[in-house]
Each structure stands twice: as structure tokens, then as C-alpha cells.
Structure 1
Amino acid sequence: MSEFSIDYSELAVPEGGDLTEVATGVYWIRMPVPFHPKHINVYLLQDAKGWYIVDTGIGSEETKQLWQKICDRMMIEKPLLGVIATHLHPDHLGLAGWLCDKYRASFYITQREYLTARALFKGNNREDNWELTQFYHRCGLNTEQMEDFIKNTGSLSRITAPLPICYERLEEGQELNIAGRRWQIIIGYGHSPEHACLYCPELNILLSGDQILPKISPNISVQSLEPNQSPLSEYLISMEKFFELPKDCLVLPSHGDPFYGLHNRLNQLKAGHKKDLDGLLEACENPIRAVDSIDIIYKRELKGIQFRLAMGEALAHLNHLWKQGLINRDFDEDGCYRYQK
């Protein structure tokens, strides 16, 4: 295996509420989502006393029906004990509240993910969105693009069931004992505020959530909530701790198929971000706006949600260079940020 190659497992891809047994007491399920990549992988962990769900899918009727089918089949004799959310995005905790309420199960999540989710999904009750308008204007978006961004702000709450009102906090280094095995909590940053991954040394399996994906780079975006933050810096730093895991562990991601070659995939992701950063740094010989940097990184036309994600990620790369002191950021005559070496 080369420095940048990975090998996929031979596990059968589950469809339509079916389950694939990954290891004794570990099951892989695939739920549909209405956006790329059209699915999310969720997992069931079996304990002597009951079951734990890791991530849930979005809050839709279709997903509810699939979970009902699975629970009716798997939880006749043993109840659902807990729902574990790796992070706050709706495809990961969209049905956490519904499942916890229906089965009186505990909810496990990191503190920053829970509190941020409570703030985001409550929605914006103010009439004046001047902060959003200012944020997007400073990126260099035109009026039509700004209106599209603002219109879609808060749209994720529509596919997220009301969250549980209490939770069990997950923290770095914590261990969950499930079926006599240790599931160690490893916290990643950048894709979301405090993303929890779970590693079981007895099985040599990593539930990587969105932190490490086999084919695509996790979206690392600057959001209007924290416009001057540098999530890419946090992501690159937190990646290093995953090199401490065995390189032959089986990675169970939230999107794509299970794979081997953890260290190689980490090197791929690092190399990809370095290439984008180098390209942006070269482009900043002349002043550019954040919106201009999208074409430099992606080199293709993007629309809709793909454009919105690309805007956040381009800004994350610029903020990383800015925080590193490699480029300056100043206002132009239109009140937009311009970035230059």
C-alpha cells in the first residue's frame, strides 16, 4: 500500500433499513438523505442490557419509518439504551430527540455540539439580519447570492426533530463500556465545534463520523456565527491525534464505505488542504475577495448548496492563511474584505 492509498472492506452495503454486521455486536445501517452524497452511515452497538445508536439520519418521515422497522426487529427483548451523536449536523442528530423520547433513551453528545445545536436550531427570531448581510457582503457576494444565503439560513432546523432537553456529556479520553468493550472518545475539530469519534481497541474499529471520510474531504467552513474563526487550523491540528491509532484499524465513516488505511487517508487530506492553501497564497499576490477564491480552489461552476458550502470552505482557507500571518486582510472601497500577501 502506497503512502496515499486506502483499501475498502468487503462488507456488503446495507440498503433500505437492512443491517450489515461489521463485528460481533456492531452493525452498519445506511439512511437516505436528500443531498449529496445521498446517504449517511449510522451504527448500532449491542450491549448485554440493550442497544446504542450512533447517529440517526435526518428528521424525516422516511427515516422514522426505517428506524421503526429496525427497532421492531432488533429491540424486541432488549431496549434502546442510548443515542450517541458524533456532532450537530441534522443528518447525524436529526432524529435524536424523537428516538430518545419514544424509547426513553439517554442522549450522548459533546457539550459544544449540544449547546451550539440548541442555539442554531432554535432559529433566528429577529427581523433584522444585519450581521448576516454584513458577513456575506464582506465575502464579496452580490445581492442575489446574499439573498439565497440568508433565505437558507436556519433551513437545517426543518429536518431536525426537537432536541432532548438533557444529555450525557462526551469528553476527550472518556470511555464508554459497551458489551465489555471500551469505546474511547476522540475529539476532532474543524468540521463542527467538538466532533466525537469512537475507537474500540478490542475490535480495532474507529467510528470516524464526518471527521475522516474515504472519498471526500469533510467540509471545513467559516460560518457567520464565528466569522473570524479558523476551523481549518483546528482541523489540521486535531488530525494529528488520529495518527496515534493503529494504521490497520477499520474505519467506519459516516459517508462512503468502510476502509483500511487510516494514516494514508490522513496524509491524503493534509496534502489536499496544502495544495489549496498553496494555490490561494499564490493567487493572493494580487488582492482577492473571498468569493473569488472559490474558483481558485474548485475550478468549476457551483450552484445551490454546493456553492454555499464552497463559500464557507474558501473562507476557512483564507482565515487560516490570515491567522498564520501569511496574508493581510483589509477593506476595499466597497466594504468587502480583500486578501493579499
Structure 2
Amino acid sequence: MRDGVEQTYPDHPRPKLTYPFEHGPRTGEAVDVGPGVKWLRMPLGGALAFINVWAIEEATPDGKGGWAIVDTGMGGTATRDAWRTAFAGPLAGKGVSRVFVTHMHPDHIGMSGYLTRKFDAKLWITRLEFMTCRSLAADTGREAPDDAVRFFRAAGWDDDALDNYKARFGGFGRALHALPDSFHRLNDGDEIAIGGRTWRIVVGSGHSPEHACLYCPELKLMISGDQVLPKISSNVSVFPTEPDGDPLTDWLTSLARIKTKIPDDVLVLPAHNDPFHGLHARIDHLIGGHERGLKRLYDLIAEPKRVVDVFHVLFRRTIDQNLLGLATGESLAHLNCLMARGQAVRTRDDNGVDWYRAVA
């Protein structure tokens, strides 16, 4: 999973979002969220328990009709069984016409290969998401590269944390059913007929390279994936493959752009938690929360700090070994953002550890 470590603080209260549904679907069930649009949940386990996926009814050339599926759940037998239950229940009588995936994290793309092969359907996804996913899946079974070990040592990880990372490296591909071998490319601004209505592709970045949201003006629905979530902040991290990246600036810019592209009256269909109204207020809250986090971080590094020294000003939760990777990546995203703004500098000591200091 790539959900963020919550960064809400008491001085930044949540906006008053509204949730029109009393409860969500149980596994194998569906809830109608609009004409021809169904909400299903696939099991995840862990803190989030499930991911929301969406089925849009549409006509097919054979006249039987089919379901355009948006996001697919984590690879594995539990998700496969949940899909089988759904196709014996609320989705019965129709196959899958297309599979849309918002982005390349395993809980979204994990079962795309299963569904596309079972129903001879095409995967629709942005190019960067597809290619990045294939690249990460290729690491399965590899030893952790030296560059990655140096990356986390520079963040201040001790030998135990590095050994744990080495032991767990290469697990991305294990959460995927074998990926489809081809895809249909989604582009920002594409207008696609799904279920007899126009859905517009609005691309964001920062959480992932080229994340596709799907917006239907007629139905006033927005499938937001992980780009906008109602109760948690999307994970925005720096990874060893691009240690000098600035994904937080990308994400904040994307959120501001989405606010100009999608009106506030939509029902947002997120990947996690429940559908909600209040898109613009939630975007403002997310941007404001991260700007406050950046200010707290700037104040903290008046004296030089390592990455592992800054967690307490960004996260409410205690950071244990299970959260260390996420917290490190998100903290680096904030530090790199400060450096990109000219507000911080980095120096590396003789032990290969990076120290960050604020500048006026």
C-alpha cells in the first residue's frame, strides 16, 4: 500500500465534507452511486481494510453489454474471490468491456491482468503509470541495489533498519497478478465515451507519475483514485530511483490545477474511505496542511537535522519499522521541496549521512 502517514494537526481542522451514503458495500456487494455506476470494495487487510473500485455499465458490440471497471484491487486470492462473488452477484450477466486503472500502485492495478485476460478486455492507463509499474515489477527477486542502501543510510537509518529493508526489497511484484502485455494510453484532457456518457481524463502527479482521474460532467461524478482522499493524505514520497525529485511540488500543483478543472458540485469517488461532497474544501485543506508542515519543518531545521530527526513535526503517529519507509520518503519530499524553494541546503558528512539546514 502507498497510503500516506496522516499529517493533520489540531491547528488545521478538517473541512466539513458531506457523505451521502450511510454505509458502503460489503465484499461482493455493490452500491449505486449514479445511473449505471456501481461502487464495490475489494479487501486489502491492514489499516485501510479495503479499496473502492467502480463498475460503469456500457454497451458492447455483441449487444450483451459489459462493465467498464475502474481500478482492480490488490493481486491475490482474496481479491480474485471477491471479484468472482461480484460477477455472480451485482455484476452478473455481463462481462468486462474495459479495465481502467488510475495509477500503478498494487492495490489499484494488482488484478488488472486477471480481469483483462479473463474477459479478453483491454487495459486503459497512462503511459508513465504502465511503464513505471513494469519497471518496479522487474525488481521482484532482486537484491536491494547499492544506490538504494546508500539512499536510506543518507537519511539516517541504522544498520537494523537497512537490514530489514534489504530483506523486504523486491516485494512490489508479489502484489500483482501478471500484468497485461499491452495497454491503451490515457492522456490528460482525453474525452472518452463510457456507458454512453463523456468522461474526461484529468491527470495529476506527485503521488504517482501520471495519475488519471475520471470526471463525468453529466453525472457530476469524479473518480479520484488516490489523488484526492477525504480522510488521509496521499503518500507523496521521494524514492531511491529519483533521490533529488520534488514530488510534493508536483502534487500541490496538481491539486490546484484539479480545482480549476473540476467544479465543486461533483460527488468524489475516492479509492479509500467513502464518496463525498466538498472537493474544493478538501483540496484547500490538503494544500494548507502541507504548507503548514513545510513551515514547521523549516523552523525545525534552523539547526541541522537528518531525515530521521524530523518525523515528529510532520506526523502525528509514532514511526515504527513498518512506517519508517513511508515516513522517510514523505519527509524527503518536504525537504526537497524546501530546497527547490531555496529555503534549505543539504550537506553530507564523512559517514554518508545527509544534514539539512534552513536558509533565509
The Cα shift of 1:273 comes to: 0.2
Q: Residue 249 of structure 1 is aligned with which of 244, 263, 266?
A: 266
> What corresponds to 2:285 in structure 1?
268
> What corresponds to 1:99 in structure 2?
115
Amino acid at match of 2:75: G
Q: How many residue pairs end up in the alignment?
A: 340
Q: Residue 332 of structure 2 is aligned with which of 294, 312, 315?
A: 315
The Cα shift of 1:78 comes to: 3.2
SS at match of 2:134: helix
Root-mean-square deviation (CA, aligned residues, Å) is 1.6
The Cα shift of 1:77 comes to: 4.1
Q: Is the 8 A contact 1:3 1:267 kept in 2?
A: no
Q: Is the 8 A contact 1:132 1:150 kept in 2?
A: no
The Cα shift of 1:277 comes to: 0.3
2-structure distance, mates of 1:128, 1:29: 36
Q: Is the 8 A contact 1:251 1:259 kept in 2?
A: yes
> What corresponds to 1:168 in structure 2?
184
2-structure distance, mates of 1:33, 1:87: 17
2-structure distance, mates of 1:38, 1:307: 20
Amino acid at match of 1:46: E
What are the ranges of 5 or more consecutive residues in structure 2 without an aligned counterpart?
A: 1-12, 61-65
Q: Is the 8 A contact 1:276 1:297 kept in 2?
A: yes
The Cα shift of 1:24 comes to: 0.9
The Cα shift of 1:11 comes to: 5.0
> What corresponds to 1:42 in structure 2?
53
Q: Is the 8 A contact 1:55 1:85 kept in 2?
A: yes
Post-superposition CA distance 1:229-255 (Å, at most 9, x none)? 010010011111221211121000000
Q: Residue 37 of structure 2 is aligned with which of 26, 30, 40?
A: 26
Mean Cα deviation higher: 179-188 or 5-14: 5-14
> What corresponds to 1:13 in structure 2?
24
Please tell me whether residue 133 in structure 1 is matched to residue 173 in structure 2.
no
2-structure distance, mates of 1:169, 1:151: 35
1-structure distance, mates of 2:74, 2:14: 36
SS at match of 2:103: coil
2-structure distance, mates of 1:156, 1:94: 10
Q: Residue 228 of structure 1 is aligned with which of 244, 261, 279?
A: 244
The Cα shift of 1:305 comes to: 3.1
Taking structure 1 as reference, are residues 65 and 299 closer, same or farther at Cα in structure 2, changes over 3 Å only? closer
The Cα shift of 1:153 comes to: 2.4
The Cα shift of 1:8 comes to: 1.1
Amino acid at match of 1:27: K
What are the ranges of 5 or more consecutive residues in structure 1 without an aligned counterpart?
A: none
Q: Is the 8 A contact 1:327 1:339 kept in 2?
A: yes
Q: Is the 8 A contact 2:28 2:85 kept in 1?
A: yes
Mean Cα deviation higher: 118-127 or 25-34: 118-127
> What corresponds to 1:178 in structure 2?
194
2-structure distance, mates of 1:150, 1:262: 40
Q: Is the 8 A contact 2:144 2:169 kept in 1?
A: no
Amino acid at match of 2:96: L
1-structure distance, mates of 2:76, 2:140: 22
Q: Is the 8 A contact 2:161 2:321 kept in 1?
A: no
> What corresponds to 2:298 in structure 1?
281
Q: Is the 8 A contact 2:144 2:170 kept in 1?
A: no
Amino acid at match of 2:35: T
1-structure distance, mates of 2:73, 2:92: 22
Amino acid at match of 1:145: A
TM-score (norm 2): 0.91
